[in-house]
Amino acid sequence: MEKIISLTSNYPDWNKRMRNIHLVSISLFLVLMTTITISSENEFVQIVFSILTVFLLFKINKWFNIKRNKVKSKYYWQNKLLYFISSNSLYKEDYEIYFETDKNGNEKEKKRKFISNSAEFGYEKTSDKIIILALKNGDSYSDKITKLDVELSALLNLPLEEKIDRPSICEYHYYLKRPKRLNLTSSSFEEVSDNQTIQLGYGVEYNPENTPHILISGGTGSGKSIFISFLLLEFLKRKTTVYICDPKHSDLFSLSNYLGEEKVATSPNNIARVVRLAVNEMKERYEYMNANFKYGSNFVDHGFKPVWVIFDEMGAFQASGTDKMSKNIINEVMEGIKQIILLGRQSGVFILVAAQQMNSNTLNTDLRDNLGLRISLGSNSAEGFRMVMGSATPESIPPIEVKGSGLLFKQGSGKESAQYWESPFVDMGKFDFITELKKYL
């Protein structure tokens, strides 16, 4: 932090200083021009100088005003924050008494206003972010300054990326430029088999080696299927084995025509078979990797490709267990999923869980916290967000209005809470998912 900004501290009042320089410059200029105009005897010269004077006055005035509000100005952020403190009444005025001696030598008691307390701010600027730091001093502002997300966003006219409330400082991170949403266009064949990092757009990248497993939650129409389709393409580009469990017989089921019937399951028995396949693959890889032990290695170092199990509507699957038989199958599947979640990372076996609504019955919170990437699409209740994000639920939820947008939390990203994110945009008229899919089969 460069310096503490508050109404009580002695800061160079840039605006005032600029205004004084402004007035002095304009006065000098006027005196000079008037002298020249009057001293000239030629009428034509007088007229030309008069016009020139008026024109230049406008120009100088404008230049000063631009200079005063320029983002590049050294005092730009400082002035904004000072304005913010005063316009939001984040300061306290008091009166002090002083004595003045009049002409007759009598002392007179007088009162004058002074600022006795003020909220304190600081800022840090990076190439793409401005971080506003609100200092908690244990005074009456300490509580108020942790709830300024909306006001600061309006002041800066920038979207909030993240807010971190620490014991002594509350940090507001604002993007200087809104991150770009990925826009899917039909591409030529593109294989990226050895780079596991997937660009998710909006400044987020995802690598399952560091952040294994994905959770996607969102109400109907929030964009889960579209985002899963996008991921599926990205997985296939990396020569991934993909298994699909679709207990609700929805969009994903139709992929059996392309991926093969043995890889797409809808009935409980088939789902159990598919999960068993993935678990066995995981165990075999472990045995192989142990036999060829390399310290700190993972599946990539052993030449394995990732395996992904995409499990849509886990809630519906669990609700389908009505009799003892089906309950046993569900238990077996959930046991397999648990093993993949807890052990899959090193061997490269991952799971993507999608659910319209998350609750602790769908997946207990311990398992949920082991899903490295958690996404909640569409708007939701505070409780709904908490079911997906757990302790990473942001204190204030940004407006989620754009189709396919929501909150995203990536473990190990250094961020403490979920951030606003827009999933890759798919123009249905221009992007044909099946055509793209066929390129990678």
Ligand X SMILES: Nc1ncnc2c1ncn2[C@@H]1O[C@H](COP(=O)(O)OP(=O)(O)OP(=O)(O)O)[C@@H](O)[C@H]1O
Could you list the residues that contact ligand X (CB under 6 A)? 218, 220-226, 250, 356, 403-404, 423-426
Helices 14-39 and 43-69: angle between axes, nearest 10 degrees: 170
Beta carbon nearer to Mg ion, 225 or 413:
225
Q: Which helix (DSSP H) or strand (DSSP E) does residue 386 occupy?
A: helix 382-389
User: Which burial class, exposed, middle or buried, applies to 189 when counting CB atoms under 10 A from its CB (0-12, 13-18, 19+)?
Assistant: exposed
C-beta of 431: minimal distance to ligand X in Å? 9
C-beta of 316: minimal distance to ligand X in Å? 10
> Which residue is nearest to Mg ion, using beta carbons?
225
Binding partner of residue 426 among Mg ion, ligand X, none, CB cut-off 5 to 8 Å per kind: ligand X
Query: What are all long-range contacts of 92-97, with beta carbons under 8 Å and residues at least 24 apart?
Result: 92/116, 92/117, 92/118
**Burial call 268-307: b when 16+ CB within 10 Å, e when fewer:** bebbbebbebbbebbeebbeebeeeeeeeebbeeeebebb
Binding partner of residue 147 among ligand X, Mg ion, none, CB cut-off 5 to 8 Å per kind: none
Beta carbons of 204 and 421 less than 8 angstroms apart: yes
Binding partner of residue 356 among Mg ion, ligand X, none, CB cut-off 5 to 8 Å per kind: ligand X
Beta carbon nearer to Mg ion, 80 or 224:
224
Binding partner of residue 220 among Mg ion, ligand X, none, CB cut-off 5 to 8 Å per kind: ligand X
Beta carbons of 299 and 306 less than 8 angstroms apart: yes
Please state, in angstroms and rounded to a whole number, the distance separating the CA atoms of residues 351 and 359.
Answer: 18
Beta carbon nearer to Mg ion, 66 or 434:
434
Which strands form 349-355's sheet, in the order they lie side by side?
A: 264-265, 241-245, 307-311, 349-355, 214-218, 373-377, 405-410, 419-422
Beta carbon nearer to ligand X, 135 or 408:
408
C-beta of 369: minimal distance to ligand X in Å? 23
Please state, in angstroms and rounded to a whole number, the distance separating the CA atoms of residues 335 and 139.
Answer: 52
Binding partner of residue 212 among Mg ion, ligand X, none, CB cut-off 5 to 8 Å per kind: none
Tell me the two tokens of residue 133: 């730091």
Beta carbon nearer to ligand X, 336 or 406:
406
C-beta of 218: minimal distance to Mg ion in Å? 9
Beta carbon nearer to ligand X, 282 or 377:
377
Binding partner of residue 207 among Mg ion, ligand X, none, CB cut-off 5 to 8 Å per kind: none
Beta carbon nearer to ligand X, 242 or 282:
242
C-beta of 19: minimal distance to ligand X in Å? 50
C-beta of 434: minimal distance to ligand X in Å? 15
What does the binding site for Mg ion look like in residue numbers (CB under 5 A)?
Answer: 224-225
* Residue 311: HSE in the Cβ half-sphere, 13 Å Cα cutoff: 31
C-beta of 171: minimal distance to Mg ion in Å? 37
